[in-house]
Structure 1
């Protein structure tokens, strides 16, 4: 290989390396953002389950009150 060819190959390899490094950095940022989204969704699911339990508890209490006050049809 001539010096010109070697130099050209090295230049291309440096360019490729820079692109790979840039992509690696971007993938790292995307992974971080995805992790935050997953944590947020997990929290939302947990809150939804808690809200559902709270609602069911309130419904049971209202039903008991209606029965005590004889407001329900038997």
Structure 2
């Protein structure tokens, strides 16, 4: 078994330190990517919410118009039997 010297231990520790620095760099990159994904996801969620609100507004308008048309048909005494 070769003799373990201080120089050999120092070289091994330097190698481990270099690899840990690489791991730290990769972890920092992943954190930044996760943050960007979260921001993107929140933006998409807000966009979907605004689309649903817009659709809800359109639906409410259609319901109001349908009610108005029903009242107009009743006032004019229109029915599906007369239309056929």
Q: TM-score, normalised by structure 2?
A: 0.82
Higher RCO (C-alpha under 8 Å, 6+ residues apart): 1
Unpaired runs of 5+ residues, structure 1, are: none
Compare CA radii of gyration and give the structure with the larger one: 2
Flag as ranges the 4+ runs of structure 1 deviating above 2 A.
none
Is 1:16 aligned to 2:13, yes or no? no
Unpaired runs of 5+ residues, structure 2, are: 1-5
Say how many residue pairs are matched.
74
Name the counterpart of 1:65.
72
5 Å-filtered alignment, 1:26-41, equals: 26-41=33-48
The CA deviation at 1:65 is 0.7
2:60 to 27, 32, 53: 53
Whole-angstrom CA distance in 1 between matches of 2:74 and 2:68: 10
Q: TM-score, normalised by structure 1?
A: 0.92
Q: Deviations over 1:16-49 (max 9, x none)?
A: 0010010001001100000000101111111111
Whole-angstrom CA distance in 2 between matches of 1:46 and 1:16: 45
